[in-house]
Amino acid sequence: MAIARCEICASPKGLKHSYNHAHVLDISGNERILCGTPSCIRVGGIWLTDEEERQYGSGRRSFRLSYRAGGVNVT
């Protein structure tokens, strides 16, 4: 599952999976995804695992988030 993090919080450390690949959200209007760090309220970008990055490279653009939002489209 993808995660959301702002530029300041960046890729999380010490989790079950490594999230090494940052991407911009494909959002429209007033939609925003907030950073997934519990104490942060900034707008987040999407971070993918190595496997999700391979899927992204193969053309997949929809990923589930590990919290709050159901899913996102990555550009």
Q: How far apart are the first and last CA of the chain?
A: 16
Q: Which residues contact 57 (CB under 8 A, 6 or more apart)?
A: none
pLDDT at 3 over 80: yes
pLDDT tens per residue, range 22-51: 987 766 666 678 888 888 888 888 899 999
| Domains in the chain: boundaries | 1-75
Q: Helices (H) and strands (E) in the chain — how many of each? A: 1, 5
Q: In whole angstroms, give the CA distance from residue 16 to residue 66.
A: 12
Q: Note the pTM of the prediction, 2 decimals.
A: 0.75
Contact 5, 66 (CB under 8 A): no
Residue 51's φ and ψ, nearest 5 degrees, are: -65, -45
